[in-house]
Each structure stands twice: as C-alpha cells, then as structure tokens.
Amino acid sequence: MQPSGMPILYLSNTEEIPGKTIFQTFGLVSGSTVRAKHVGKDIFASLKSIVGGEIKGYTELLNESRNEALQRMIVEAAGRGANAVVNIRFSTSTVASGAAELLAYGTAVSVQ
Amino acid sequence: MGLLLAYNRVVPLDSELIWVFLYIVFPFLIPLTIYIISIIFGSMVYSKGVAELRTRQSSSQSTHPNMLCNMRTTKNIPKVTSVANSEATFSPVVASEIQSSGLLVLSTVYSLSTWSKLKVAIKSIFGGRLTSAQEMLELGREETIQRLREEAIRQGWTQVINVRIETLCLDKKNDRPSAFVEFCVYGTGIRY
C-alpha cells in the first residue's frame, strides 16, 4: 500500500494514535479523487439494479478510488515530515450524475 | 387499424391482432417484464443476502464477540480478550498496552430494486413507512459492518474503535429515488 522509501505512517481516525503521544502537528492534509463510472460496468450495474442488492463493480471501483485518495493524503503528510495522520475523515460527494469525488482528510502529526 | 380500414381493405382477424399487439400490448410488455423480474428475483436476492449475512454474523460473533465500538478513546472500553468481562470485573484497555494500530476503511454500493423504487415513488406522494427500501438499506449497512469485522479479524486486530458509518446517494437525479447507495464504514483497529 505505502510507497517505498517513506517513513511508516500511523493512520487513525481517533484523535490520537492509540498507545503513542503526539509531539508536533503539521496541519490539515487531504487527498481526493474524482472517478467516473465505467461504461461496461455501467451496463451490468443497471441490469443488476433491476433486482437490487450489491453492485460489486461499483464497490470495487469506490474502494480502489478511496485507497487512492488516502494514498495522496499520505504522500502530502510525508512531504511535510509527519509520521502519522490522526482524526482521518472520509467524505464522498456526487459532482455530476455518474461521477463521484472521494475525499480523505486528517491532521498530520509526529508521534513517539 | 384505422389506416387499414380507410383503404377499404378486408382485414383478417389474425392480422388485426398483430397490430393490437404491436401498438397496445408491446409498449407495455418491456416495463411489465422488468417489474415482474424485479418482484420475483428482487425478493430472492434479498432473502439470500440476509440468510448469508446472518450465518457469517453468528460465526464471527462467536469467535470475536463485541469487536467493534464507536468510542473515541479506549478508557471506557472493556477488553475483549477476557471472555467473561462482566461489570464486576471491568478492566478497560490501557493505552500503554496497545502494541499497534491501523486504519480500516470499507465501502459497498447497494441498489434498490426497480420495484421498490416504484413503491418509493408512489409512497412519497402519501407519506408513510417505506418497508422495502428500509430493509434493503439495513441489509447493505449490516453487510458492510460485517465485512469490516471480517477484515479486522483477517488483519489480526483485537478490537476496532471509533467506528463511523456513512451513507451516500451516488446517482441521485433531481427528485427521483437514488439508484445507488454507498455505505462507507471506517475505524481504527488496535492490537493488545
């Protein structure tokens, strides 16, 4: 998951890294991706939505893009010299019908 | 049919039936088939999903009870490793005991069936409870939470704290019922 040659980043959506102490903050970091639907997957998805239930193609797509957003946030945090990101939040918004923006944000800190 | 009669042609009965079929029955046939498929297979997909989810829930609940919680800090959370953690022997998780932690994110996309979307559209005129939509959303959310639990077990976390659940309509157009609903569940796994 993490790019090579980078310090190991602790990630957490709590206000601190459990079992560690924060000694420096580097401010807010965020990463986002905008993903549009795939045509082939879209046809299958619209057929699957007749009967309802899980749309596996979209599940994969969103998980993939959320990881990418997280990755961008990690790169930004590592660039500032932080070794952890705390209080991570995720948010998704539909910018147009068929395209979604996935955003991950948190506070870059240094922990011991 | 009117056109044919205007030409003073003799229209046999079977040929007239073809026109009736083409202009009156056929336009309704495709949506009708879709709704019938939606009613029959929709409930099948739902009940299959529920049955599968319940067995997975009970199996992971028996091996790893009370794994998820949405408290922000660990001071009020009882340890899950001691099996009989009653009120008398309450032992909270101590921060110094935690060896490692990590983020867990999972999301799934669920869709309402065409039939329940129609029911939503009709019900939204009169108001009231939308049982079929509610059931599907509940299934989707519980499934996502169960996947997070399984992922946490697979990665070897003892407990997951600060679990947050988000729901989002992915493909909402104006006032029409949304086709796709995304559930995003995330939390911090801890090991001690």
What DSSP letter does each residue of B113-178 carry, written as one string? -HHHHHHHHHHHHH----HHHHHHHHHHHHHHHHHHHHHHHHHT-SEEEEEEEEEEESS--TTSPP
Does the distance separating the beta carbons of B161 and A19 come in below 8 Å?
A: no
Chain mean pLDDT for chain B: 80
Task: Say what the pLDDT of residue B83 is.
Answer: 53
Of the CA atoms within 13 Å of residue B98, those in its CB half-sphere come to: 26
Is A31 domain-assigned? yes
Task: Say what the pLDDT of residue B88 is.
Answer: 53
Does the distance separating the beta carbons of B171 and A97 come in below 8 Å?
A: yes
Residues making up chain A, counted from first to last: 112
Higher pLDDT among residues B119 and B78, named by residue: B119
Which domain range does residue A104 map to?
10-36+67-111
CATH code for the domain of A83:
3.30.110.70
Is A56 domain-assigned? no
Task: Using the Cα atoms of residue B71, residue B74, residue B75 and residue B77 in order, give the sign of their dihedral.
Answer: positive
Pick the closest to residue B58 from B157, B135, B136, B146 (CA basis): B146
* A59 contact B CB<8A: yes
Task: Say what the pLDDT of residue B54 is.
Answer: 93
* A1 contact B CB<8A: no
Task: Say what the pLDDT of residue B187 is.
Answer: 92
Higher pLDDT among residues A4 and B66, named by residue: B66
B chain contacts of residue A66, beta-carbon cutoff 8 Å = 105, 107, 184
* A98 contact B CB<8A: yes
* A18 contact B CB<8A: yes
Listing from the earlier edge strand, what are the strands of the sheet with B159-169? A53-54, B100-111, B180-191, B159-169
Does the distance separating the beta carbons of A54 and B110 come in below 8 Å?
A: yes
* A45 contact B CB<8A: yes
Which of B4-13, B48-57, B63-72, B87-96 is the most confident on average? B48-57
* B39 contact A CB<8A: no
* A63 contact B CB<8A: yes
Mean per-residue pLDDT pooled into runs of 10, chain A (112 residues): 57 84 89 78 79 85 89 90 89 77 90 84
Nearest CA in chain A to B33: A50
Residue with tokens 């965020």: A30
Q: Is the pLDDT of residue B6 over 70?
A: no
Q: Can you tell me the distance from the alpha carbon of B7 to that of B174, in angstroms, rounded to the nearest whole number?
A: 48
Average pLDDT for B37-54: 90
Task: Say what the pLDDT of residue B52 is.
Answer: 92
Is A106 domain-assigned? yes
Listed in sequence order, the residues at least 6 apart from A17 whose beta carbon sits closer than 8 Å to its beta carbon are A10, A84, A86, A109, A111, B101
Task: Say what the pLDDT of residue B84 is.
Answer: 53
Does the distance separating the beta carbons of B105 and A92 come in below 8 Å?
A: no
Q: In chain B, what percentage of residues exceed pLDDT 90?
A: 19
Listed in sequence order, the residues at least 6 apart from A112 whose beta carbon sits closer than 8 Å to its beta carbon are A20, A21, A23
For the stretch B70-98, pLDDT in tens is 888 777 777 765 455 555 566 777 777 78
Average pLDDT for B158-173: 82
Q: What is the CATH number of domain B2-191?
A: 3.30.110.70
Is A42 domain-assigned? no
Count of structural domains within chain A: 1
The domain limits of chain B are 2-191
Q: In chain B, what percentage of residues exceed pLDDT 70?
A: 82
The bridge status of strand A10-11 relative to strand A84-96 is parallel
B chain contacts of residue A94, beta-carbon cutoff 8 Å = 168-172
CB atoms within 10 A of CB B11: 12
Is A19 domain-assigned? yes
